[in-house]
Structure 1
Amino acid sequence: MLSLDAEVKEFFERGGSAKFGEVEVQKEVMEILHARGIEKFYKHQADGIKRVKRGENVVVTAPTASGKTEVYLVPIIEGALRGERSIVIYPTKALSRDQLSRFREFGLLGVKSEVYDGDTSAHVRERIRKEPPHVLITNMDMLHFILLNSHLFKNFLSSLKYVVIDEIHIYTGTFGSHSSNIIKRLRRVHSKYSKNKLQFICSSATVGNAQEFAEQLVGLPFSLVDARYAPRSTVKHILLNPPLTNDGRESYTTLALKVARQLIGKGRKLLIFGNSHSVVERIGIVARETNLDGIKIYRAGLEREERRKLEQEFKCGSTDALVTTSALELGMDIGAVDSVILAGFPGTVTRVRQRIGRAGRRGREAKAVFIARDNPLDQYYFENPHEYLKGEPESCYINPQNEFILKPHLLSMMRDYPASMDEILSFPMGEKLFSELKAEEMCKEFAGCWIPTKKGLRAVQGMNIRSAGSVVRIYDVEAEKFIGEREEAMAYSELFPGAIYLHGGEKFVSERLDLEKKTAFVRKLGYETSEYTVALRNREAEVTEVLGERDSLGGELSYGRVHISDEVYGYVVKDYLKERVSSRIPLQEPLRYEFDTLAVWFDFPEEVVFSVDDFPAGLHAVEHVSIAMMPALTGADPSELGGVSYPAGRMYVYDSTPHGAGLSKIIFEKFERVERMAYERLRKCRCQRGCPSCILDPQCGNNNRNLNKEAAKQILEKLNK
């Protein structure tokens, strides 16, 4: 029992024993698996291997440590012994290096495995191209470059059989939309070098639409294998809500370290998950300042040697705890873990399960501690612990038909292998995009086909597969150098003149933003401050095309294309230690950004609009708390959604990505669930007029003015009757 000054809820999640199945595997492959301690296969492993052997594309939904690797490992190794090759795509370079050792265990059988990514040296890359391995381990970014230079990989591609995409739930939104186009380009290039059919094996955490999403990502039919038959440890769940003080809630990071102090020592090992680099760094700094020895920071961005050192120290027990972001959420081998702390809800139930799954291996009871932050979603799950553990998993989403994403991939396709006019015209929006590329002198005719010009080649080589649309280049005026870039859709609200901008752990102040030339000029702040800036904005939405309509909660719910006009007219300066506004500053010239995207909008019933006092302020509050609930069902970051509400009774929620990332469609399908969650949060929040735990949004473009919590409760109560 933890001894803490906090509101506490505890319950047990009982473990389960494994169920086994049978599948025929080559004797020499099985002998190496025996050496690893694998004597027989779980039922989902056997089912998955059988389906792959029958030639099906398979997606395996599996929690952490459920043995999903064997579902693709066995077919890949048996294929290698027949002379077939495979690509295995992991979401991170660290995971690629970690998993390489699993494949190299089969080197005794003559199976060669290599990693080909940004950390691979030039001479090793050249060797891989000349002497292709049986198993090539890479990531989606590097696969894009492999395809651009496909002629160098002709020998490998001609005998390619299996493509594995691990952790496909990572490939959502803009990144997933790019990835879908890269996979389709891979299928095209492979068809140029081989008459054989590619076979795909995907793995995923437990999400709401794994089979549908795999089919959308790859463009082929899939069979679903559910890893429900893997063994599970018993988990003791402890949910903590920091106590309220006169200045608000106690810091959740401080409480996380108080918990850590009670969970480590005597050989016990702990992972502390934070939801951002800054949170992880802050926990690490406070741990050092309070002499909490044995806690170290592990996150993306560390040098590979430093990461490996930390992994080994944690495995051998010289380090008691690692404070980490999602870097250790995936299947990295770091040995047994006794407890995990979730410093804040990670956005989705799936990520909760992934993080909890890191503890309690080898049949031992695990402790999983969730510490709620002072925001609507965290407080909702603290008040509804069953939803925290057993709630509906989010659905993954992509929009590979996004025009801004399609265009660079059409140009990339021409570089992968010269494109015929038939291929160009059969490409989605091919005729329109091809005309634009020709007009921009990005492509040229070559031997009856089309290839990129030098200008086009520079464009595809510099393409960022984690963004859509134009980017703004950022320059440090003192150092006189380029320091980074930001998507245009975000730049106008983060880099306006006077904005405090964080980059590489340092604070800058923006001096000038030129949206026409897509450039921003910043200067290092030069002094320590706890201040930050928030844009003040006016938003308008206009429907351009209705794609779907249905009745919902007594009103009418619609989904379609909209035109968004977003104007930044000023900003406020806030102190994050006191959460108070210190100044309010208008811009000399407002910045206006307009774009087309996808949205869902709800027309509230007239009896609700006219029966609730101060309906407009109540609707504004409903918009805030509704959007706060949506990441749990979509897996989206809150910044990927925007909202506009009108006093007459219409509320819009739109994709912040120009031309849409696919979020709005999920919200259209799950709108009733969103509003039930929003009502529960307002009903159970104990504040009187509104607080960060319910309706206050730190990024509100109106600085949280014109909000009415009581009116919002009445609106949602009437809808949810």
Structure 2
Amino acid sequence: MDVDTFVDHLKTTLASSGQIVHVENIPAKPAARTPLASKLSDVTLAAFASAGIDIERKLFSHQARAIETVLDEREPRKHVIVASGTASGKSVCYNVPTIETLLADPTATALYMFPTKALAQDQLRALRNILSNIPRSEETVFEIGMYDGDVREDARTEVRENARLIITNPDMLHVSMLPSHKAWARVLSGLRYVVVDEAHAYSGVFGSHVALIIRRLRRLCSELYGSSPQFIISSATVANPLEHARDLIGYDGVHPERDVIEAVTNDGAPRGVKTFLLWNPMLKPGQSKQTNTERKFRRETLLAECVQHNLRCLAFCKTRKLCELVLVYTREILRSSAPHLADKVASYRGGYEAIERRAIEKELFSGVLLGVATTNALELGIDVGSLDVTLHLGFPGSVASLWQQAGRAGRREGHALSVYVAFDGPLDQHFMRQPRALFDAPLEMSYVWAENPTIVEQHLACAAYERPLFANPDVDEVYFGPKTREIAGKLARNKLMRDARSLVAWDLNAAIAQPLLAATDKTPALDVSVRTIEEERYEVIDIGGAREKVIASIEASKAFFEVYEGAVYTHQGRTLLCTKLDIPRRRAFVRMADVKYFTRVKHETTCAVPGGMRAYEETKDALSIKCDQVDIRTTFTGFSRVARGSQAKFDHEAFPPRTTEFRTVGTWLRIPDDVVTDASDAGIDLRAGVHAASHALLNALPLSVPCGDADVGCECFSADLYRHTSRYAPFRFLIYDRHLGGVGIAKRASALFSDLARVAVALVEHCACARADGCPRCVQRLSCDAHNAHINKKAALWLLRRVFANDLKPSDCVE
């Protein structure tokens, strides 16, 4: 069934009650081609021609510009970031100069870095296809080597000794290549290009780690091996490609003034016709909650419908749990309506074992699978074959991410369908009411925070193992930031580093810092996971089979949200029950269970700004916005069982309190004293207003900074939270990163309070609910640490208008 016929079918069946609130027809875009001005060798031209790519006359405009910039030999040679849409041929931008240079110079080497093993395998196949028809001779031969965790040790030795183009990932660069850099001297000495693919994936925690890994690589190349590689960075379309590239690669430590990046954004790739549906199963007037049937319409029924009409589909889910639930429900629907298709659907997410992920990728590419419920793990550019439909179950956290996901369908320029299914969240409903706010929205900025003190500390220890810190005065501060000495001093005091030249204590205040070595015989990199800030993780172990099997791992700070005695845990569509949580050994034991409910943990979170009253200034006039360290403490006390169909809680069970604590970065604005006085005089419950307004501000944040519930939180308040303590509880809006040490979200939010307030007022004002405590479409949040207790919608509007009166337009301040 073609897309138009399927849309007509939906309008008369599942959407017959008006669920489709908007249809956006995005026309096809023709290719913009530019002949290449740079002269390439006949061998390079022939290699690409054999793969069906005419790089001399038929390059897209962005490809030609990127290649010419990289190959321009005028000093200083520029790094390049290419930011263009899905399936726009970004790999040509780095493959052409790499192959041209490696064919011409037998000492030149290149390093390709991909965020996932699957992407690396994809590129390996593509490169071998391009090079397969080149005549083999001493002048044209260069070996391509895959270097990841799946490669055998003997093959790794072969790669180190003979390969000139190394394909790897940040994890292997971090834990293997850099610590043993002497074994890679040939590669590092001749390193001409470093390719950083899918750079938009390097954001938040992962991106902050990768930024420090790249700085360690540049440091070794410059100071030990005499090379200065050009970086070729590819990314999906983002708002700040140049800034993001700079945040990722930093500056050359010796000549930062000559470190230039050029952004290529003139996307010349063609695009097929796209039909984009906005699907809103929102509450109808008079309803207090959705029926089970309506809820299934917005999730599983659509995926099942695509599969039954032989349309290959990805259903993007915001969370791992939702991904598993969608698979469970979809299979239930198919078993009753089309049993032969029940095994044609699967789920795909992080946390699976590598062998499971490779099998799903292979089955999706070959057409064995028709539907996959996935997190953003399949958002990246791995080739999964031709897809017909993408479903987007809730706003994914950024407009850029939504477009990247939608680009997975129609990758062969065919007519494709994308369906954005709204949840009850404020942004979902905002876009359903105002479609142009989505389709005309500017893209958000990517973010990396390479100054996270915890991450810097981890990578400084790694860098000191690879080469003594401060061996070259003032250079390491360029690589690792202004607090390098301070953090190094902490490591020295904790005996994790030692003075490389003497036995005396290292002096932080010395005019010239003495070199420091890592005080260990093994690389600290082995204890630093680049995918998380936390080093401690819980293993999830299935004890239902003949042998115990580790099926997943969870960061320690998030473990109590997912595993506890009695918790329902889902994996690959299977429902498991947690029977035991071994906290000292950090292990959760689960087994298969036939239950018709899921579980929701009960917890409370408090936020504390170190310094107490000293953290604030007088707030009589101008708003005082601060960004600094914040301590987060979460206490878990029990869980509820929730019926799978009705979503009703039917049981609660307590367990002994368990607490997690971490220090992160937050931004806060204390409510001015005159506003507090006026609220009291007017009989407004200010605490409830602050709580509700904080939710509204947080709901508005993803329009400016890509983030999700797992990345950022706000200070939430319940009436009895401070009842039995003497803790000072100021009136304030406080937003914080939900990651140890922070990842830069709160830092960006600190400059956006006024913009957030404008969007927040609109979100709350346009919500039609009449409840005093609002609803999930305005001032409630599913992730609220106080379970949406003690909030007031009207108080939130009053407070936002008063606090930001000078920043809101007159139309925003109408009482």
1:137 aligns with 2:167: yes
1:643 aligns with 2:719: no
Distance 1:112 1:298, change over 3 A: farther
Shift of 1:79: 1.3
Shift of 1:590: 7.2
Shift of 1:146: 0.9
Shift of 1:641: 1.6
Secondary structure (helix, strand or coil) at the match of 2:211 reads helix
Letter in 2 for 1:240: W
Q: 2:768 aligns with which of 686, 700, 703?
A: 686
Moved more, 318-327 or 24-33: 318-327
Moved more, 599-608 or 647-656: 599-608
* Aligned residue number for residue 69 of structure 2: 51
Letter in 2 for 1:281: E
Deviations 1:106-133 (A, max 9, x none): 24242322221111122211111121x2
Shift of 1:141: 0.6
Shift of 1:151: 1.3
* Aligned residue number for residue 748 of structure 2: 666
Considering only aligned residues, what root-mean-square deviation do their CA atoms show, in Å?
3.7
Counterparts of residues 226-241 of structure 1 (less than 5 Å): 226-241=265-280
Q: 1:563 aligns with which of 630, 635, 639?
A: 630
* Aligned residue number for residue 114 of structure 1: 145
1:452 aligns with 2:523: no
Distance 1:543 1:415, change over 3 A: closer
Shift of 1:267: 6.2
Moved more, 136-145 or 438-447: 438-447
* Aligned residue number for residue 248 of structure 1: 290
Secondary structure (helix, strand or coil) at the match of 1:623 reads helix
Q: 1:618 aligns with which of 689, 693, 696?
A: 689
* Aligned residue number for residue 325 of structure 1: 375
Shift of 1:582: 4.9
* Aligned residue number for residue 66 of structure 1: 88
* Aligned residue number for residue 723 of structure 2: none
Letter in 2 for 1:283: V
Deviations 1:662-712 (A, max 9, x none): 111221233333333333332333332123333332332222211112332
Structure 2 Cα separation of the partners of residues 311 and 522 of structure 1: 28
Q: 2:608 aligns with which of 537, 541, 546?
A: 541
* Aligned residue number for residue 219 of structure 1: 250
Letter in 2 for 1:598: G
Distance 1:273 1:487, change over 3 A: closer
Deviations 1:568-594 (A, max 9, x none): 274452516344455667776674736
Shift of 1:28: 2.3
Letter in 1 for 2:625: S
* Aligned residue number for residue 7 of structure 1: 19
Letter in 2 for 1:400: A
Secondary structure (helix, strand or coil) at the match of 2:715 reads strand
Secondary structure (helix, strand or coil) at the match of 1:698 reads coil
Structure 2 Cα separation of the partners of residues 592 and 59 of structure 1: 40
Q: Is the 8 A contact 1:338 1:367 kept in 2?
A: yes
* Aligned residue number for residue 665 of structure 2: 597
Q: Is the 8 A contact 1:45 1:71 kept in 2?
A: yes
Q: 1:167 aligns with which of 192, 195, 198?
A: 198
Structure 1 Cα separation of the partners of residues 650 and 373 of structure 2: 33
Q: 2:452 aligns with which of 402, 416, 432?
A: 402
1:462 aligns with 2:527: yes
Secondary structure (helix, strand or coil) at the match of 1:380 reads helix
Q: Is the 8 A contact 2:735 2:746 kept in 1?
A: yes
Deviations 1:129-166 (A, max 9, x none): 121x2211111111102101111111111111101111
Q: 1:700 aligns with which of 784, 789, 795?
A: 784
Counterparts of residues 581-592 of structure 1 (less than 5 Å): 581-582=649-650, 591=659
User: What percent of counterpart residues are identical?
Assistant: 26
Deviations 1:256-293 (A, max 9, x none): 44334554577643332223343333333333333345
Q: 1:35 aligns with which of 47, 50, 57?
A: 50
Moved more, 332-341 or 217-226: 332-341
Deviations 1:587-630 (A, max 9, x none): 76674736352324353684596257333212211212322332
Structure 2 Cα separation of the partners of residues 265 and 481 of structure 1: 34
Counterparts of residues 255-274 of structure 1 (less than 5 Å): 255-260=298-303, 262-263=305-306, 268-274=311-317
Shift of 1:637: 2.6
Structure 2 Cα separation of the partners of residues 218 and 576 of structure 1: 49
* Aligned residue number for residue 506 of structure 2: none
Letter in 2 for 1:96: A
Letter in 2 for 1:460: A
Structure 1 Cα separation of the partners of residues 317 and 86 of structure 2: 18
Secondary structure (helix, strand or coil) at the match of 1:200 reads strand
Structure 2 Cα separation of the partners of residues 224 and 287 of structure 1: 43
| Equivalences, count | 712
Deviations 1:76-103 (A, max 9, x none): 1111112321111111101110111221
Distance 1:576 1:663, change over 3 A: farther
Secondary structure (helix, strand or coil) at the match of 2:150 reads coil
Shift of 1:350: 1.0
* Aligned residue number for residue 287 of structure 1: 330
Structure 1 Cα separation of the partners of residues 740 and 582 of structure 2: 23
Q: Is the 8 A contact 1:63 1:227 kept in 2?
A: no
Structure 2 Cα separation of the partners of residues 313 and 470 of structure 1: 33
Shift of 1:452: 3.3
1:90 aligns with 2:117: no
Q: Is the 8 A contact 2:352 2:551 kept in 1?
A: no
Letter in 1 for 2:166: L
Letter in 1 for 2:173: L
Unaligned runs of 5+ in 2: 1-7, 135-139, 252-259, 503-514, 718-728, 805-811
Distance 1:60 1:444, change over 3 A: same
Q: Is the 8 A contact 2:348 2:372 kept in 1?
A: no
Q: 1:183 aligns with which of 214, 226, 248?
A: 214
Q: Is the 8 A contact 1:45 1:70 kept in 2?
A: yes
Structure 2 Cα separation of the partners of residues 122 and 282 of structure 1: 39
Structure 2 Cα separation of the partners of residues 525 and 360 of structure 1: 40
Q: Is the 8 A contact 1:472 1:487 kept in 2?
A: yes
Structure 1 Cα separation of the partners of residues 35 and 692 of structure 2: 56
Shift of 1:381: 2.4
Structure 2 Cα separation of the partners of residues 655 and 679 of structure 1: 23
Distance 1:593 1:358, change over 3 A: closer
Distance 1:603 1:457, change over 3 A: farther
Moved more, 388-397 or 592-601: 592-601
Q: Is the 8 A contact 1:644 1:652 kept in 2?
A: yes
Structure 2 Cα separation of the partners of residues 607 and 302 of structure 1: 51
Moved more, 560-569 or 299-308: 299-308
Letter in 2 for 1:666: R
Structure 1 Cα separation of the partners of residues 156 and 440 of structure 2: 45
Distance 1:593 1:349, change over 3 A: same
Distance 1:368 1:592, change over 3 A: closer
Secondary structure (helix, strand or coil) at the match of 2:740 reads coil
Distance 1:591 1:360, change over 3 A: closer
Point out the structure with max Rg over C-alpha.
2
Letter in 1 for 2:290: G
Unaligned runs of 5+ in 1: none
Moved more, 3-12 or 580-589: 580-589
Secondary structure (helix, strand or coil) at the match of 2:457 reads helix
Q: What's the TM-score once normalised by structure 2's chain length? A: 0.78
Structure 2 Cα separation of the partners of residues 490 and 604 of structure 1: 35
Letter in 2 for 1:575: V
Letter in 2 for 1:508: C
Q: Is the 8 A contact 2:28 2:271 kept in 1?
A: yes
